[in-house]
Amino acid sequence: MDKLSITGGARLAGDVAVSGAKNAALPILCASLLTADTITLHNVPALNDIGTALRLLDRMGVRAEQGRDHTISLNAAQVSSLEAPYEMVKTMRASILVLGPLLTRFGEARVSLPGGCAIGQRPVDQHIKGLAAMGADIKIEHGFVVAKAARLKGASIRTDMVTVTGTENLLMAAVLAKGQTILENAAREPEISDLAELLIKMGARIQGHGTDRIVIDGVDALHGASHRVVADRIEAGTFLCAVGAAGGDIMLRQAAPDTMGALLDKLQEAGMTIECGPDWIRGTMRDRPRAVGIRTHEYPGFPTDMQAQLMALNCIASGTAVMVENIFENRFMHVQELGRMGAQIDIDGHTAVVTGVPALSGATVMATDLRASASLVIAGLAAKGHTTVERIYHLDRGYEHMEQKLRAIGADIQRVSDKEAA
């Protein structure tokens, strides 16, 4: 398994091009199942999760052609399997996003039930409840969600909690359903709006995306379209936190600052100077950061996917930060590893109290999930001495060439592959 070897202390300065958003690209790839025409996507990030999604679609008979410059064309004219097997769903929970498209276009689907994962149980009961309300005969059988419906019917659906992939699955199911679907308590994440914009280009009739009430009038068929995936606000935020913790001056290009309000406010509160244009963000950090408290919340609140990275910054900030994780029950797995680097963090339930120390000290640490891994990298960049981050396959799931992008702005960071380490 690859590791990252980091020598901390370098100031970070320069330009970074932000990749397309993993969490927008994954539902958008699955949306290709909704039509027999070709969908052409630009700005698709080169990530392991995207590879997994393409392999899953390939097994179903979707033909994909990878062009240059992060472009992929997909054609689902010859779908031959309506099943998402366990081996794929277990490596990527977002595989559940094929359920809505398969069921609504082909009238049946068999998708392995995702298990829990490091950050929490993450059930998919709301996806199932919504599809049942649209008339699907849906049950759990031998670890699979098995669903059938001659044609889904529009329905009024209020999910019990705000769910991102739940909203996406129901949105994709509703675009080909008969009649009108109203999704109440819908998630408002920018990745949902990005998916809705592609669906509208394909001929779907959707209103209210980006709000908590989405109204969809089903159509009989969708057609081909092309679309550029929105910038990854979490990747951009991760680089800003790295500069916030290590010090420096970064220019993020191809970014979407309008999707990052809650984080940008907090970084300014921490002492970072932020300037933005329509598609760029410049972040400058000259002094030691000030500790900043957050409560994670659904968009437009502070994203849970940025909690771990901001915690790394708080570890070396002046003052004490109270950080509350409201979305996932077990998303403090990085705390113990940060502690091995000298961080002072107390956890009480879903609250972490981080008392900043003047400096962290490098150590060997183990990554446990995607954003936890990113927080350990940030801590390593800011720490004194040498840090090894083990098990970085989590990082490769969601960050495109992270170490190369960091090296280009002055970080001393190397990937050590299995063979070299042996």
Ligand X SMILES: C=C(OP(=O)(O)O)C(=O)O
Q: 117, 241, 276, 315: which one is catalytic?
A: 117
Residue 23 annotated as lining a ligand binding site? yes
241 is catalytic: no
Interface with ligand UD1 includes 314 (CB under 6 A)?
no
Closest distance to ligand UD1 from the beta carbon of 319 (Å): 27
The correct pick among 197, 305, 369, 400 for binding ligand UD1 (CB under 6 A) is 305
Residue 93 annotated as lining a ligand binding site? yes
**In the complex with ligand UD1, which residue's Cβ is closer, 3 or 127?**
127
The correct pick among 304, 309, 375, 387 for binding ligand UD1 (CB under 6 A) is 304
Determine the size of the site formed for ligand UD1 (CB under 6 A): 20
Residue 229 annotated as lining a ligand binding site? no
Residue 161's binding partner out of ligand UD1, ligand X, none, with CB under 5 to 8 Å set by partner kind: ligand UD1
The correct pick among 124, 199, 270, 367 for binding ligand UD1 (CB under 6 A) is 124
Residues near ligand X (CB under 6 A) are 23, 93-94, 305, 370-371, 398
Site for ligand UD1 in 322-361 (CB under 6 A): 327-328
Interface with ligand UD1 includes 281 (CB under 6 A)?
no
Residue 371's binding partner out of ligand X, ligand UD1, none, with CB under 5 to 8 Å set by partner kind: ligand X
Residue 184's binding partner out of ligand UD1, ligand X, none, with CB under 5 to 8 Å set by partner kind: none
Site track for ligand UD1 across 144-173, x = CB under 6 A? -----------------x-xxxx-------
Residue 327's binding partner out of ligand X, ligand UD1, none, with CB under 5 to 8 Å set by partner kind: ligand UD1
**In the complex with ligand UD1, which residue's Cβ is closer, 122 or 407?**
122
Three state DSSP letters for the chain: CCEEEEECCCCEEEEEECCECHHHHHHHHHHHHHCCCEEEEECCCCCHHHHHHHHHHHHHCCEEEECCCCCEEEECCCCCCCEECHHHHHHCHHHHHHHHHHHHHHCEEEEECCCCECCECCCCHHHHHHHHHCCCEEEEECCEEEEECCCCECCEEECCCCCHHHHHHHHHHHCCCECEEEEECCCCCHHHHHHHHHHHHCCCEEECECECEEEEECCCCCCCEEEECCECHHHHHHHHHHHHHHCEEEEEECCCHHHCHHHHHHHHHCCCEEEEECCEEEEEECCCCECCCEEECCCCCECHHHHHHHHHHHHCCECEEEEECCCCCCCCHHHHHHHHCCCEEEEECCEEEEECCCCCECCEEECCCHHHHHHHHHHHHHCECEEEEECCHHHHHHCCCHHHHHHHCCCEEEEECHHHHC
**In the complex with ligand X, which residue's Cβ is closer, 5 or 368?**
368
Closest distance to ligand UD1 from the beta carbon of 26 (Å): 5
| Residues carrying an active site annotation | 117
